[in-house]
Chains A and B, each alone.
Chain A
Amino acid sequence: MDNINVLIIEDTKAESDALVKVLNANNYNIVGIAPTYKDALDLFYNNKVDIVVIDIFLNGNPDGITFAETINVVPDAARPFVFLTSSTDRKIFERAKLTQPFSFLMKPFNELEILYAIEMALEKFYAQNDVFLSDEEDTVISKEYLFIKKGKSLKKVLLNEIIYIEVEEKYCNIITEKEKFVILISLTKILNLLDNAIFCRTHRNFIVNSEKIVEIVPADNLILLSGGHKATLSDTYKTIIKKIRTLK
């Protein structure tokens, strides 16, 4: 599991320092602190950023909103973001609200509030509301990553690194090349959200990354995966064989 990359756009050093301190303490990775709109764009395009924390007012101008508007225009570049503001000025809010999905945090804020705001921004951005705070789920799935809540903070796992997923009731065992862990998510939801061209169901309880398949042994109902992992292939899902062949 990797830490989440955060870009901070904030012109007041004291505030950015406090923010960095809190986020670092919660295992977030700060990729940069941009005091201006230009720096922000530079940092944003030169780093892999998972989420942006934006102060609305940079040197007295609402450049934070401009930044959000800019990254929102390019669909693939868009990332979740949180606005920070010390003003509840209605006009500014009306403008900021147009940059959907809209999350904001009033200054001053405490640790819980900023962590919560980041989680909410992520949920809203990937349109999977009410995940991290509920008891039933703890994972938001994007095209590239699984965002998993671990304790107070968030972690991410690259989907490409997943070898297979074994479902056990409402839990899912995620097996990657490096590690093995459990997430809370329903089977139907994970099946819906994963790219079914890559992730195939081979069994009632198995979802396999087709790119990690080494060998299929239909006689033994077995799929050999990279790293020596094995997955079961049930009769119901044997059509996968054809699919794999056509792929290769």
Chain B
Amino acid sequence: MTKLHFLIFSILLSVSISLYAQQHNRDSLFQFEIEKKTTEFRSEIDFKKAHLFYQEKNWDSTLVYSMKQLSSTQNKELVDYCHFFRGHSFRTKNLLDNAKKEFNSISREFKFYHKVNINLGEISLEEKKFLNAISYFKEVETLIKNNQYVYKKSNVILNLGLCYTRLNKYNKAQEYLFKSKQMQEKEKDTLSIIATNINIAILYFRKRNKKQAFVYFKQAYDLSKKHKDFDSKRRTALNMSIFEETNKNLPLALSYRKEYEKWKDSLNDQNKIWKVAELEKEFAVKQKQKEVTVLEAENKLKVAERNKLLYSSIGLVLLLITGGYFYREKIKTNKIIVAQKITLDELNATKDKLFSIVSHDLRSSVNALKTSNTKLQESLETKNFTELDTQLNNNSAITNGAYNLLDNLLNWALLQTEQGYFEITSMRLFIIVEHVAYNYKALLLDKNISFENTVGKKDMIDADQESLKIILRNLLDNAIKFSNENGSIKVYSKSEDNNYCNLIIEDTGLGMSESTRLELLKDTALLSKKENEDIIGTGLGMQLVKQMIHKNKGGFNIESELGKGTKMIVSLPKTAS
């Protein structure tokens, strides 16, 4: 019998506590007050967080942040709220001693102190310290009597009834239980009514009033049938079964027991279904996660592939561009090389031509000397002295010509290799002309050409003496060469401007055509064509003249009229005075 009691009581106790836990958070006034506090203490972030976690039923976090808030604040209200949060958290985590400590540190001024009392009472109830529980609940009861706001007052009354029942004070227990039932009926809280009915039934059961006990058990049982809550159904069924068992009405007890088992199973089933659903959900999530990761991997692969394609195409384009660039460069250099080759070929051809002409000229000169010498010998043998003189003159003319050619050749070579001494100094143009002309006296006399040097004696020019002499020698040589007998050659100067002095060598000789003139003035290294084998030379002399004048920073021009004569004009820089 006692064993049975215990079973029933434990079920009942759990009923009342679960009720409390279920409904606690729905206390809107309490919530509203806390909201107000959080907005009031907006700056207290820890409090806000603690409250947030409290609402989310994340008890551990609530404990952490409330502790932080406690260590940083002195505000009594906040301290009380924090203790409350902590107490509640500890209680739900079944650390009852800690919960009691926290609740006890809440000051009496706390606006919701009745909640503290309720909590403490319920804890005492759990610890089976019924007297303590009663004292806590009584305090709340006085508040109820004074018509003050208490959330779920019927529960308090129910719990008082419970305590008295356990203390075997049945009268008091009865009073409270009925009062609770009355209140619950007003509140239309079926679950609480069921719990109260069970408790009343147990009260009657303890008073051995089986009849009454049956009525309330039955009432609870019927009520639970109307209600969805499996737990109530199970408990009422179990109670009925135990009750019928004590009445020895075994078949009935068995049917109730079966019903109990059924509700228990369905409760379990429900739980199982929940669990299965949970598992399925988890599985689905995992599956989804897998898919996501697969997709991600695929994406990564795609991106990598795309990047590879991009880089390789960029590389290809770069390669193409550089290739094109080098190809163009190559074409350019090829062009340059080709152009250089052409000029080199031309130069080489010139050189070859020069060689052949020079050697040809020398050969004919030497040949002429040879034949002339044979004639000389003949004349000597026949002692024809009058002939001898002309032959010797002829010989010296030939050697002179050959010498001039060789001299030009040497100077040309020196000019090409830049080995010659070259120094520009100031000098009197007149004297230099005199010096050069001196060598041609005999030749001039021979051809009966009158020669005049009317260069201004004060004309000072800047030039390299030797190269100036080479220029004059060639020009005079040409003038004589292209002059007819009894002609005249005049050399004179004309001041071009402040910087240049023009030296003009004028003859009354053959002159030249415009095309020849332009040909001679051309800056090419090519030798002019031979129009007249006898008197037109290699062109080396003119080439030398032009290059020497250029080296002396001078200018060169030709004025000529076919059959009338030629003016060779050399502009030379004046000596700055």
Q: Which residues of A contact B (CB under 8 A)?
A: 88-90, 93, 106, 110-113, 116, 133, 135
Contact = CB atoms under 8 A, between A and B. Distances in A.
Nearest to A94: B421
B247 to A, nearest CB: 150
B439 interface: yes
Contacts of A89: 419, 421
Given A88-B466, A110-B438, 6 more contacts: A88-B414, A90-B420, A93-B421, A106-B466, A111-B438, A133-B457
B466 A133 contact: no
A93 B464 CA distance: 14
B491 to A, nearest CB: 15
B465 to A, nearest CB: 8
A20 to B, nearest CB: 19
Contact of B435 (A93, A110, A135): A110
Contact of A110 (B414, B431, B439): B439
B441 to A, nearest CB: 9
B457 A88 contact: no
Interface string B327-364: 00000000000000000000000000000000000000
A158 to B, nearest CB: 29
Contact of B428 (A88, A90, A112, A133): A133
A135 B457 CA distance: 9
A90 B421 contact: yes
Contacts of A93: 421
A112 B466 CA distance: 15
23 contacts: A88-B419, A88-B420, A88-B421, A88-B466, A89-B419, A89-B421, A90-B419, A90-B420, A90-B421, A93-B421, A106-B466, A106-B469, A110-B435, A110-B439, A111-B438, A112-B434, A112-B435, A112-B438, A113-B438, A116-B431, A116-B435, A133-B431, A133-B457
A113 B466 contact: no
Contact of A113 (B420, B421, B428, B435): B435
Contacts of A112: 434-435, 438
Contacts of B435: 110, 112-113, 116
A116 B420 CA distance: 22
A118 B419 CA distance: 27
Contacts of A133: 428, 431, 457
Interface string B436-447: 001100000000
A113 B428 CA distance: 13
Nearest to B466: A106
A89 to B, nearest CB: 7
Nearest to B457: A135
A47 B438 CA distance: 33
Contacts of B434: 112
A113 B427 CA distance: 13
A111 B431 CA distance: 13
Contacts of B428: 133
A115 to B, nearest CB: 10
Contacts of A110: 435, 438-439
Contacts of A135: 457
Nearest to A85: B421
A133 B455 CA distance: 14
Nearest to B428: A133
B209 to A, nearest CB: 151
A133 B435 CA distance: 13
B219 to A, nearest CB: 142
Interface in B462-505: 466, 469
Contacts of B420: 88, 90
Contacts of B438: 110-113
Nearest to A92: B421
A84 B431 CA distance: 19
Interface string B412-429: 001000011100000010
A106 B414 CA distance: 15
A88 B457 CA distance: 28
Contacts of B421: 88-90, 93
A135 B430 CA distance: 13
Nearest to A87: B421
B462 to A, nearest CB: 14
Nearest to B467: A88
Nearest to B419: A90
Contacts of A113: 435, 438
Contacts of B457: 133, 135
Nearest to B403: A108
Interface string B20-33: 00000000000000
A112 B469 CA distance: 13
A187 B419 CA distance: 47
Contacts of A111: 438
Contacts of B431: 116, 133
A116 to B, nearest CB: 6
| Residue of B421, B457, B469 ringed by the most chain A CB atoms within 10 A | B421
A102 to B, nearest CB: 9
